[in-house]
Amino acid sequence: MTKAISPRARKVRVLATLGPASSTPEMIARLFEAGADAFRVNMSHGDQESKVAVIQAIRGLEKIYGRPTTILADLQGPKLRVGKFAAGKIELVTGSVFTLDRDPTPGDATRVELPHKEIFAAIEPDARLLLDDGKLVLRVTAHDETRIVTRVEVGGPLSNNKGLNVPDVVIPMAALTPKDRSDLAFAVDQGVDWIALSFVQRPEDLAEARTLIRGKAALLAKIEKPSAIDRLEEIIEQCDGVMVARGDLGVELPPETVPPLQKRIVEVSRRLGRPVVVATQMLESMIVSPSPTRAEVSDVATAIYDGADAIMLSAESAAGAWPIESVAMMNSIGQAVEGDPTHGDRVHFTITRADPTTADALAEAAKNIAATIGAKAIVCFTTSGSTARRVARERPGVPLMVLTPKLETARRLGLLWGTHAVHTRDVDSFEDMVAKAKRMALRHNLVKAGDSMIVIAGVPFRTPGSTNVLHVVRIIGDELKGYSA
């Protein structure tokens, strides 16, 4: 029996990462009921076989709750690491000289192998090398094709295979590794809705992933490299969505620069009409504690006030002791912030100017008309989802119901601000459109008798990109009688 759930009482979406603490069908269902709108499957951990059951469990929610589910597969990307040490671990002394080279011999306190030839070709004098998530800092003093000589600026312990970050240069490496290509093919075959691409440095990095996806999923670019910031607008124009990956950004850049960069990425993404996810350490303390710090709550609230489409939990829901409570807290923060009377004004600090198209003009008009006449909902009919994205970009103050005959479209919209997507039969006439819009809005508790709502669609019907109709509807009487979606 289907459990009916009304649309969320908030517009920001909650993206929950699944992992050891939250991969059973029972836990996934509890996360959904607590407020998770979409689920992230991290391809960095575990094998592909273990992901099959997780993906099936997420899809199983559709039969239980009668609502499309949204799955994001997050690719690992290249992982830069140093080699091994003869003693397994060394101590780098501040001020000392340390060399990274191509020699596979186990290292010591003076040198270690760096098994990434691309770095030797790209490195420049005075560039920084960050080790072990930025805990150690090296400054390049000399280099050639086989050696990079550095001065240790910040020392400390360094053990086998620790990670390396190179923030000051663009490394000529593909964003997709052989593992990523295999994981991407697997994820597409499993029917996931979004593919998240790591290690994006240039807009060109998105091309191979786009080709391999073959239109079967949406492409999300993770902004985690300083070089991506330099070409931010170009990258965002080439993808379907964006993630502010604050963890790696905070390693490669001074931490105090991350908040303004977050605001800039959110602003540009909104202006260009791409869904934007803010991620990493949002409720980090809830990995071990049943309640967050006040600073964490303020951090989440800031992302919501900025108008982010989605806020993401990582280890909090994947491996922490309180996954349900973490999702419920995100849900509560979203409701509280959006209940603030100033929320609407703050969200519209970002100016989203309509493009000179009929569809954009109608999306902007829908928001303004809804505010003027006190409409309770906007209902849009779409095949590709583009109409929904245009309306959501305007951040209307009322719920946005999206009716689509394509299940794939309904699923992808799970990361889009304020959207309640419904997979339903298409309409054949203007009268059918109005009747279906009324009855579906009533069925999903968005309106009641006496309310007004706005309907947006394209005529002729079943023609993608033809949005050209805006109609104001008033609900009269019980429109549900005798109706079947």
> How far apart are alpha carbons 209 and 207 in whole angstroms?
6
Task: Identify whether the C-beta of residue 98 lies closer than 8 Å to the C-beta of residue 152.
Answer: yes
Query: How high is the pLDDT of residue 3?
Result: 66
> How far apart are alpha carbons 239 and 433 in whole angstroms?
32
Going by C-beta distance under 8 Å and a sequence separation of 6 or more, which residues neighbour residue 468? 358, 359, 362, 458, 459
Q: Which CATH code fits 358-474?
A: 3.40.1380.20
pLDDT at 79 over 60: yes
Q: Which CATH code fits 89-165?
A: 2.40.33.10
Query: How high is the pLDDT of residue 477?
Result: 66
Query: How high is the pLDDT of residue 256?
Result: 94
Owner of token pair 């699944």: 18
DSSP state of 93: P
Alpha helices in 35-153 (DSSP H): 48-65, 117-122
Query: How high is the pLDDT of residue 480?
Result: 46
- Here the tokens at position 305 are 């006030």
Query: How high is the pLDDT of residue 347?
Result: 86
DSSP state of 262: H
Q: What mean pLDDT do residues 217-223 have?
A: 98
Helical (H) or strand (E) element with 138? strand 136-143
Task: Express each pLDDT in 96-126 by its tens digit.
Answer: 999 999 999 999 999 999 999 999 999 999 9
Query: How high is the pLDDT of residue 358?
Result: 86
pLDDT at 343 over 60: yes
- List residues bridging with 149 in a β-sheet: 99, 142
Q: What mean pLDDT do residues 194-202 have?
A: 96
Going by C-beta distance under 8 Å and a sequence separation of 6 or more, which residues neighbour residue 78? 173, 174, 175, 177, 198, 199
Query: How high is the pLDDT of residue 198?
Result: 95
Indicate the residue type of 275.
P
Work out the mean pLDDT of the chain and round it to a whole number.
Answer: 93
Q: What mean pLDDT do residues 71-86 have?
A: 96
- Percentage of the chain modeled with pLDDT above 70: 96
Among candidate residues 74, 77, 19, 25, the one with its CA nearest the CA of residue 46? 19
Rounded to 5 degrees, what are φ and ψ at 164?
A: -130, 135
Domain boundaries, the chain: 13-77+175-340, 89-165, 358-474
Query: How high is the pLDDT of residue 335?
Result: 97
450: left (phi over 0), alpha (psi -120 to 50) or beta: left
- 348: pLDDT confidence band, cut at 50, 70 and 90? confident
Query: How high is the pLDDT of residue 228?
Result: 95
Query: How high is the pLDDT of residue 103?
Result: 96
Q: What mean pLDDT do residues 352-381 have?
A: 91
Task: Express each pLDDT in 439-474 by its tens digit.
Answer: 999 999 999 999 999 999 887 776 666 788 899 999
Task: Express each pLDDT in 254-265 by its tens digit.
Answer: 999 999 999 999
- Here the tokens at position 55 are 């993906």
pLDDT at 476 over 60: yes
Query: How high is the pLDDT of residue 482?
Result: 42
What's the fold here for domain 13-77+175-340? TIM Barrel (3.20.20)
- 1: pLDDT confidence band, cut at 50, 70 and 90? low
- 285: pLDDT confidence band, cut at 50, 70 and 90? very high
Dihedral (CA of 369, 419, 432, 361) sign? positive
pLDDT at 163 over 80: yes
- 55: pLDDT confidence band, cut at 50, 70 and 90? very high
pTM of the full predicted structure? 0.92
pLDDT at 4 over 60: no
- 484: pLDDT confidence band, cut at 50, 70 and 90? very low
